[in-house]
Amino acid sequence: MSTTRPCSPGDRGPEPSGASGASTGRQVRTLSFDDQSGVVPLARDFARQALYAWGWLPAASADQRAAAEDVLLVVSELVTNACLHAEGPDRMELTCDNKVIRIEVADRGTGQPAPRTPHRAGRPGGHGMFIVQRLCLDWGVVRLPGIAGKKVWAELGAPA
């Protein structure tokens, strides 16, 4: 199940349901992975729909197309990491303010994601967080006291 709700600038919390689609304000879309299979393609499709709603797609230039593909790749990497290392994702939240897209993937895992160091490009596996680090403006992990799991987040800039 997914929800779309607008948020006021500076407000990270949910607000009542409202209009969706392209807007000059911040837009938030949430996808719950409860009882879902095929979560990586589900997350990519959900993110692609959000990119269309927010005007990132269809892309008018090669830079815009590359920026949208970067968002989809980061979504894939974060959800895949939750599947491989954290008992699967619980939910994904996408936030867009027309300059930055923030991706958050919540899971119940206790591990700490980090790019493998040193990165060895020729070896299979272990590239997910390296890719996230290279493509994103910033990324990190949020843990809330008394709540199992974490949110892994990443932010990507809109094309110029």
Could you report the per-residue pLDDT of 131-141, keeping only the tens digit for each? 999 999 999 99
Mean pLDDT of 11-33: 61
Report whether pLDDT(19) > 50: no
Residues 12-39 have a mean pLDDT of 68
Terminal alpha carbon distance of the chain = 33
- The per-residue pLDDT for range 25-35, each reduced to its tens digit, is 899 999 999 98
What pLDDT is recorded for position 146? Answer: 86
Per residue in 84-110, pLDDT (tens digit) is 989 899 999 999 997 999 999 999 988
- Say yes or no to pLDDT of 23 above 90: no
% pLDDT > 70, the chain: 78
Number of Cβ atoms within 10 Å of the Cβ of 75 = 26
pLDDT of residue 3: 34
State the Cα–Cα distance between residues 78 and 123, nearest whole angstrom.
20
pLDDT score at 142: 94
Nearest residue to 71 (alpha-carbon basis) of 30, 43, 37, 91: 43
| SS3 per-residue string spanning the chain | CEEEEEECCCCCCCCCCCCCCCCCCEEEEEEECCCCCCHHHHHHHHHHHHHHHCCCCCCCCHHHHHHHHHHHHHHHHHHHHHHHHCCCEEEEEEEECCCEEEEEEEECCCCCCCCCCCCCCCCCCCCHHHHHHHHCCEEEEECCCCCCCEEEEEEEECCC
Distance CA 34, CA 123 (A): 33
Q: What is the pLDDT of residues 44-88, one digit of tens each?
A: 999 999 999 999 999 999 999 999 999 999 999 999 999 998 989
pLDDT at residue number 122: 67
Question: Which residues are paired to 154 by β-bridges?
Answer: 103, 139
Whether 92 contacts 40, CB under 8 Å:
no
Sign of the alpha-carbon torsion through 81, 149, 136, 63? positive
pLDDT (0 to 100) of residue 77 = 96
